[in-house]
Amino acid sequence: MGIIDTWKLQLRTTFTDGDPAIPQWQFEFENGDDVGFFPVGSAVWTVHSSMTPTVAGIRALLLQTLHPGAMAGVHAHSSFREEPLGRLANTIRWIFTVTYGSKVAAREGSAFVQRLHTRVKGTYTDSRGAERPYSAADPDLTRWVHLAFTDAFVAAHAAYGGPIPGGTDRYVAEWAHAGHLMGLEDPPRSEAELREQLAAFDGELRNSDQVQEALTYIRRPPLPRSQRLGYRILFAGAVATLEPRHREMLGLRVPSLGPIPLPIRTAVRLVLGVIRLGLGPEGPAEAAAKKRIRRLGGTADPSIA
């Protein structure tokens, strides 16, 4: 196997928790008797089929750590220390299922995640120093995670992607499907509502030793040497898109890329282009979904259903 082939294989396994084979579940999006929630060319399909979710995933993890309830669940119940890429692979699977799967697959996948969340329980110290119980299925935590992902997708694509059909408001409204599928009532349906709901959490957010421990794994995941510089650039790109108040709470600064003589935006776009080259112009999940939609002769319904 040549150097390029080895690099491509390592790149693919980063997103599949070390499995060199393309996961079978990605090909299964060809199955199903409905066309799904999102049409080809919709705001959600456009953003999620680009490379900007690579940056958005890092940004979402950074933001999520600031809620002590969410952080307590990850700290006590997640294997992020031993298998940080495993959590990434599981998150990718759910996002792909909602984006590219049939409505039946999206509902079943979300119900499965909800059942897992009911087992994640414990206590945490809130931002006021009080001890509180939590469950990953709590509506407030579900909302926080949805907001963090939505905000990350929007911010990363605005910084490093192209135009969104219908703009940011359309994306937020379409991705409200994901919130509903996870049992969330009244998810934001516009950028203004997204900003308002995020701001409502400001008093609950805090830095902590747990946050800083998680940051060490997010900053330096166990990647092959060939991917470390690229990840450093993507991490810098994610940090640069954070709201100043969130960046300050995390103890992060808009990073300098040191000896790299490129602005962060240019460098991030270059790395994303290289990743696209390595993974190919269209992933198997997207290709399988298009086959299902063509077979059914329809387009997905972008309205809430």
- From first to last of its 305 residues, the chain has per-residue pLDDT tens of 555 656 555 565 665 555 566 778 888 999 999 999 999 999 999 999 999 999 999 999 999 999 998 887 776 656 555 555 556 678 889 999 999 999 999 999 999 999 888 887 888 788 888 888 877 778 999 999 999 999 999 999 999 999 999 999 999 999 999 999 999 999 999 999 999 999 999 999 999 988 998 898 889 888 888 888 999 999 999 999 999 999 999 999 887 655 544 689 999 999 999 989 888 888 889 999 999 999 998 655 544 44
Distance between CA atoms of residues 172 and 198, nearest Å: 13
Q: From 107, 91, 102, select the one nearest 183 (Cα to Cα).
A: 107
Name the residue ranges covered by the structural domains of the chain. Answer: 3-295
Are 148 and 60 a contacting pair, CB within 8 Å? yes
Q: Give the per-residue pLDDT at 32.
A: 95
pLDDT at 223: 83
Give the CA distances from residue 116 to residues 121, 142, 214, in Å, rounded to whole numbers and listed in that order.
Answer: 11, 13, 21
Tokens of 169: 């408001």
Res 303: pLDDT? 46
Question: Within 15-137, where are the H helices?
Answer: 24-27, 43-48, 53-64, 68-77, 84-100, 103-117
Note whether 135 and 118 are within 8 A (CB).
yes
**Structure confidence at residue 259 (pLDDT):** 56
Assess contact for 202 and 80: CB atoms under 8 A.
no
Separation between Cα atoms, residue 151 and residue 157, nearest integer Å: 10
How far is Cα of residue 41 from the mean position of the Cα atoms in its chain? 20
Length of the chain counted residue by residue: 305
**Token digits for 279?**
């993974």
Q: In the structure, how many helices (H) and strands (E) does the chain have?
A: 15, 2
